[in-house]
Amino acid sequence: EAQVTQNPRYLITVTGKKLTVTCSQNMNHEYMSWYRQDPGLGLRQIYYSMNVEVTDKGDVPEGYKVSRKEKRNFPLILESPSPNQTSLYFCASVIAVGGYNEQFFGPGTRLTVL
């Protein structure tokens, strides 16, 4: 089954404690993205990756890091989480073939930073 998985689904942590949210896709897509979703602010793109070892900043990259060492995985790293990073995070894997483009989202990770 084609899917995007994220782990953990829920996480409560404390300020400053490094954490990683994993994202994996089994569709062999080149493009992957991370978003955060906050009430009243919609989904905002944090980082995206066009292929292995190729990443670029989205609209709200501050406080986040990503890596793309292999095609299927695109982890999101918070080196020193702060309360303003409390949010719902979505990873997406993107198919872009010819004129067709579709983002497949993972189920989301609800993060609370105390």
Partner 1 sequence: RKEVEQDPGPFNVPEGATVAFNCTYSNSASQSFFWYRQDCRKEPKLLMSVYSSGNEDGRFTAQLNRASQYISLLIRDSKLSDSATYLCVVNRGTNAGKSTFGDGTTLTVKP
Q: Confirm or reject binding of residue 100 to partner 1 (CB under 8 A).
A: yes
Among 32, 60, 78, 111, binds partner 1 (CB under 8 A): 32
Q: CA–CA separation, 18 vs 23, rounded Å?
A: 17
Q: CA–CA separation, 96 vs 38, rounded Å?
A: 27
Q: Confirm or reject binding of residue 48 to partner 1 (CB under 8 A).
A: yes
Q: Confirm or reject binding of residue 19 to partner 1 (CB under 8 A).
A: no
Q: Confirm or reject binding of residue 74 to partner 1 (CB under 8 A).
A: no
Q: CA–CA separation, 52 vs 63, rounded Å?
A: 22
Q: CA–CA separation, 102 vs 114, rounded Å?
A: 35
Count of residues that interact with partner 1, criterion CB under 8 A: 30
- Minimum CB separation of residue 48 from partner 1 in Å reads 4
Q: CA–CA separation, 70 vs 14, rounded Å?
A: 30
Task: List contacts with partner 1 (CB under 8 A).
Answer: 31-33, 35, 37, 40-45, 48-50, 56, 58-59, 88, 90, 94, 96, 99-103, 105-108
